[in-house]
Each structure stands twice: as structure tokens, then as C-alpha cells.
Amino acid sequence: MIARATLSRYMSALLVCVLSMNVVHAAVDYRLPTIGQPADTYMSPAEEDKLGRQVVSQLLAENMIIEDLELREYVSGVGARLAAHTPREASGFQFYVIDSGQINAFALPGGYIGVNAGLITETDNESELAGVMGHEMAHVTQRHIARQIEATSGMGWATAAAVIAAAIVGGGDPDAISAAVSAGVSNLGQQQTNYTRAHEYEADRLGIRTMAEAGFNPDSMASFFEKMQKRSNLYGNQLPQILLSHPVSNTRMAEAEARAGDYPATAVREDHEYPLMKERARVLASRQLSGLARYYQQRRNAADSPALDYGYALVQTRLGQNDAAIKLLKPLATAHPGLLAYQLALADAYARAGRAGDAADLLTAVRKQFPHSAAARLDYAQLLVETGQTEKARDFLLADTTLLDNVSQAQELLARAAGSQDRLGEAYYRQARYYQMRGAYPQAINQLRTALQTADLNAFDKSRLRAMLNQMVQACHAAWSERECRERVAQDSRY
């Protein structure tokens, strides 16, 4: 069995750049190495994307990604603001909130960025969050992962994806992790460790530059380091894993301050939604809601904070105390009509309290006020499905192609709506699309096979599902390999 600390060292020397509070090294020279070589000799950008998607699909299967569209939209918004000051288009990054309390973030091949819920809740302002995210995005733009793979032989892609996912999950089968590590990274040594350290220097320099140019406070990087150093002093021998891998020193904090000083003082812009999304992340990642309720009660008694009221209301709705949540949220939503989080939380409390009409009225108004919010549109569709208005839900979802094409949960809602209307062909089709969008091709394949073998379908539906089955098989082979795909289809125990 391989120890987690050992696994972490292997991974830091290999593919995953787990760098939430890493080093910022002072250097006036911002010149960076030319990218694209020799990385392209081992992995093309398309191949990087393939590996990244493999890891994301495994994290989704392990329920390690918080599938809350509102929180993801917020984090993606911070990322898009940073991306505008990188060589890569905003569409070249995908951001996910990881269901973990560890203070961490990571970059995957292809522009997939994971931000732990624990990192969000540990930051004191949006600039601290942006600093970590900018660092991870620099690993992507500089193609550090492909360059690291080029320096490391013997690791197959499927094995690499499995090792990365297992390292992130942390709770995977130790024997399987050990076998994968032994097969793929037995040849790693000090040379590879030094190679990744050079990547760190690049990402630190570029990350601070990106956040400064995006209007965030570059001094927040040093303040975050200082907080991490204090935390390490408190932990003693029980350091969090990331602090063992990336210790924080006075020298590093000083270098971060010096780097931030290279930029002229400008007006810092931070989103008013930040403190609310910080509490939302805390609630969604909580395993003990009753304990979290006491946390909010104690802090609300000590400080008057709308964000704490918001977090407490979210806990109350999840504990079934919906009337109390409405009492907290209604004045907040009235006083701050421009903050989406209050509006959606109040609508959710109305729905949970059985006040579907109030929820629908509020969500209708919110959709008009925030027309670009996919979260608001998804919440409205979910309310329609859950209140039995399936025909209306179906019409609404079919008309919103942007939501269907980009949000897998919308496909699942449409499948539920179609199923309740005995539109079996459409229900199977939409559920398969849901799996497809999550990279879960084996589940899509098995469900389509089951539908074609057992469901009472008309000729059109059979033809449509057969065509989709062929597409899913081809997509599965392209995403993994024919052999790997066959094995995963056989292992899908639900069918």
C-alpha cells in the first residue's frame, strides 16, 4: 500500500499541478520559455484535452465535483476575467468546484481547472481566490503538463488519468493506486522534481501578472501566504498534505510582495457575490449540517453579516426549516435585488416550503433580470418538473438550446419530463445525452442497448437510438480506446 504523502510527491512530479498556495519567486524578468516545444512531440493540444476530459469524467463518476451550477458559474466568471489577460481564450478553460475541504486547486491537461471548496472558504477576498486560479491557469497556458509528460516515459494515458483521479479523490482503492503508480512512475527521480520546480517559477510569475492586469489585488497573494504560514505553525506535526508539499516561508511571502510591487496601484474590482459564494461552497461541501448550523449561529451572534445570514439560510433549507430560511432571505433579497444569490436562495426556500407559486413568480422575474444566468433557467425548469408541469418544462427546455448544449443537468430534467409523459424514446435519448456530456460513454451505451432491447419504441425512436448508439461507441473509442471502452461497458454494473 502506498502512503498518501508518497503518492502526493509522485503526482507533484508528474501530471497534476496541485498548487493552491505555491511559491511566488521574485524576478523582474518576465520572459518565459517558448511554449509548444518539445511538448508537441509527445502530446498535441487535442491529446491534452482528451486526457483532461478523461480525468473530469472519472471525478464526476466519483461524485467529487460539486454539481451546483450557480457556484460553478461564479467560479467560471472569475476564470473568464483572468483568461482575458492570458494568451488563451476563455472558452479554452473549464472550471469545476471539487467536493473537498482541503485547501487546494489543480490544473489538468487541456485547460480543466479544479478549485476545492476548501480553498474558496479559506480565502478572505476574491483577489486571493483569483491569485490561486491565475497560477493554475498559467500551468495550462505554458503547457507544463505536456512538457512534464514529455520528460517522463512509461505512463499510458489511461493509467495517467486513473492515477490523477485517484490522487484527487484521495479515497480511492490504495492497492489500485499503488499498482498504477508502480507501473507508470517508477522511473521518476530528482531530475523530474527539479523540472516541475521550474514550472512553478513560471506559473508564479505569470499568475501574479495575470491577476494584476485583470484588476485583482496582487498583494493578496502575499496575504494568503501569510495566512498559510500561520496555519502551518498551528498544525505542528499534523500539517495538511498540501502544506507538506508546498511549505510557506517568510522569504516566499517577501518575494510575493516584491512581485506585486512591480505593478502600479490600480482600482481593485471584486464581485459582491464573492462572500455569498464562499458560504455557498461551505454549505455544499459540508458533511455535518447540524454542526454547520451551530457554526453560523455562533458567528451571527458575534457579527452582523449578510453573508452569514445567507449561509445559515442555506443550511436551514437543507434541514427542512424553510419558513425560518424565508424569514432570513426575504429582506436580503428585497434590499439587494441585484444579487442573484439571494433571489435564487429565496426561490429555493419557497419551493421547499411548498409555495411553488411564489417560487415560480420569483424565478420568472429573476430570469428576466439575469437573462444570461444558466442557474436561474435551470432552477425554473427543475421547479416545473418537480411540480408536475412536465409539458411546460419540456417546451421550456427544448426552446433553450444553449442550456441543453452546455448543462448536463438540463438533459436529465428533459429526460424526466419526457418519461413522465411516456415519451420513452425521447427520455432514453436525453438520458444518454446526459451521460455523453459527462464523458460517461459506457453508461450511455448500456442504457441505449437496454432501451433498444426492452422498450416499446416506434420506428422513428428505434432508428434515432440506434444512430446514437453508434455515435456513443465511436465517441467512447475515441475518448479511451476500443479495449478500454469494452472493459468499462462490461464493468457498468447497473445494466
Residue type for position 349: A
| Average pLDDT of the residues in 163-171 | 66
- Strands ordered across the beta sheet of 112-116: 17-18, 105-108, 112-116, 94-98
Q: Is the Cβ–Cβ distance between 426 and 411 less than 8 Å?
A: no
- Which pLDDT does position 235 carry in this prediction? 66
Q: How confident is the model at residue 31 (pLDDT cuts 50, 70, 90)?
A: very low
- pLDDT of residue 20 exceeding 70: no
- pLDDT of residue 145 exceeding 80: no
Q: How far apart are the first and last CA of the chain?
A: 32
Q: Is the Cβ–Cβ distance between 243 and 228 less than 8 Å?
A: yes
Q: Is residue 201 part of a domain?
A: yes
Sign of the CA dihedral with 286 first, then 287, 293, and 299 last:
negative
Q: How confident is the model at residue 195 (pLDDT cuts 50, 70, 90)?
A: very low
Question: How many residues are recorded in the chain?
Answer: 495
CA pair distance 98, 16, nearest whole angstrom: 14
- pLDDT of residue 305 exceeding 50: yes
Helix (H) or strand (E) holding 108: strand 105-108
- Which pLDDT does position 104 carry in this prediction? 84
| Average pLDDT of the residues in 417-445 | 96
Q: Is the Cβ–Cβ distance between 242 and 18 less than 8 Å?
A: yes
Phi (first) and psi of residue 119, to 5 degrees: -70, -45
| Average pLDDT of the residues in 264-276 | 91
- pLDDT of residue 338 exceeding 90: yes
- Which pLDDT does position 150 carry in this prediction? 59
- Which pLDDT does position 271 carry in this prediction? 93
- Which pLDDT does position 236 carry in this prediction? 63
Q: How confident is the model at residue 293 (pLDDT cuts 50, 70, 90)?
A: very high
Do 302 and 406 have their domain in common? no
Least confident of 18-22, 110-114, 158-162, 306-310: 18-22
List, in order, residues 6 or more apart from 48 with CB less than 8 Å away.
109, 110, 143, 145, 146
Closest CA to 468 of 406, 397, 460: 460
Q: Is residue 60 part of a domain?
A: yes
Q: Is residue 174 part of a domain?
A: yes
Cell of 191: 531530475
Query: The CATH number of the domain where 351 resides is what?
Result: 1.25.40.10
- Indicate the residue among 370, 404, 434 that finishes a domain: 370
Least confident of 214-223, 436-445, 458-467: 214-223
Q: Is residue 178 part of a domain?
A: yes
Do 350 and 401 have their domain in common? no
Higher pLDDT, 99 or 243: 99
Q: What is the DSSP annotation of 280-324?
A: HHHHHT-S-HHHHHHHHHHHHHH---HHHHHHHHHHHHHTT-HHH
Q: Is residue 376 part of a domain?
A: no
Cell of 46: 487535442
CB burial of 460-475 (b: ≥16 within 10 Å; e: otherwise) equals ebeebbeebbeebbeb
Q: Is the Cβ–Cβ distance between 295 and 283 less than 8 Å?
A: no
Look up the pTM and report it: 0.87
Cell of 441: 460513454
CA pair distance 314, 133, nearest whole angstrom: 26
Q: Return the top range by mean pLDDT from 104-108, 127-131, 132-136.
A: 127-131
- Which pLDDT does position 2 carry in this prediction? 37
Q: Is residue 406 part of a domain?
A: yes
CA pair distance 460, 341, nearest whole angstrom: 43
CA pair distance 440, 432, nearest whole angstrom: 9
What is the percentage of the chain residues whose pLDDT exceeds 90? 60
Which residue range forms the structural domain that includes residue 26? 4-260
Strands in 289-404 per DSSP E? none
Higher pLDDT, 190 or 62: 62
Do 298 and 213 have their domain in common? no
- pLDDT of residue 184 exceeding 70: no
- Which pLDDT does position 432 carry in this prediction? 97
Do 147 and 244 have their domain in common? yes
- pLDDT of residue 23 exceeding 90: no
- pLDDT of residue 295 exceeding 70: yes
- pLDDT of residue 386 exceeding 90: yes
CA pair distance 284, 379, nearest whole angstrom: 16
Q: Is residue 378 part of a domain?
A: no
Least confident of 154-163, 244-253, 371-380: 244-253
- Alpha carbon 412 to its chain centroid, in Å, reads 19
Long-range contacts at 444-451 (CB < 8 A, ≥ 24 apart): 444/472, 445/469, 445/472, 445/473, 445/476, 445/489, 446/489, 446/492, 446/494, 446/495, 447/495, 448/472, 449/495, 450/495, 451/424, 451/425
| Average pLDDT of the residues in 330-353 | 98
Cell of 451: 432501451
Do 363 and 427 have their domain in common? no
List, in order, residues 6 or more apart from 487 with CB less than 8 Å away.
none
- Indicate the residue among 242, 260, 278 that finishes a domain: 260
Q: How confident is the model at residue 66 (pLDDT cuts 50, 70, 90)?
A: very high
Higher pLDDT, 379 or 173: 379
Q: Is residue 172 part of a domain?
A: yes
The number of folded domains in the chain is 3
Half-sphere exposure of 148 (CA within 13 A, CB side): 31
Cell of 239: 500539517
CA pair distance 185, 198, nearest whole angstrom: 19
Cell of 476: 467512447
Closest CA to 30 of 303, 170, 213: 213
Question: What is each CA distance from 199 to 151, 222, 282, 319, in whole angstroms?
Answer: 13, 20, 31, 46
| Average pLDDT of the residues in 406-414 | 98
* 290 CB burial (10 A radius; 0-12, 13-18, 19+): exposed
Helix (H) or strand (E) holding 17: strand 17-18
Do 119 and 76 have their domain in common? yes
Q: How confident is the model at residue 318 (pLDDT cuts 50, 70, 90)?
A: very high
List, in order, residues 6 or more apart from 339 with CB less than 8 Å away.
272, 273, 276
Give the pLDDT confidence of 468-491 residue by residue, as tens digits.
999 999 999 999 889 989 999 998
Cell of 494: 447497473
Q: What 8-state DSSP symbol labels residue 34?
A: P
Do 188 and 307 have their domain in common? no
Q: Return the top range by mean pLDDT from 68-82, 124-138, 481-495.
A: 68-82
Do 35 and 88 have their domain in common? yes
Supply the mean pLDDT for the chain: 83
- Which pLDDT does position 234 carry in this prediction? 72
- pLDDT of residue 194 exceeding 50: no
Do 401 and 365 have their domain in common? no
Q: Is the Cβ–Cβ distance between 64 and 98 less than 8 Å?
A: yes
Do 448 and 324 have their domain in common? no
- Indicate the residue among 260, 275, 296 that finishes a domain: 260
Do 110 and 33 have their domain in common? yes
- Which pLDDT does position 249 carry in this prediction? 61
Give the pLDDT confidence of 199-256 residue by residue, as tens digits.
777 788 888 999 999 999 998 877 887 787 777 777 665 555 545 545 556 766 777 7
- Which pLDDT does position 176 carry in this prediction? 41
Q: Is the Cβ–Cβ distance between 98 and 65 less than 8 Å?
A: yes
Q: Is the Cβ–Cβ distance between 97 and 70 less than 8 Å?
A: no
Do 157 and 208 have their domain in common? yes
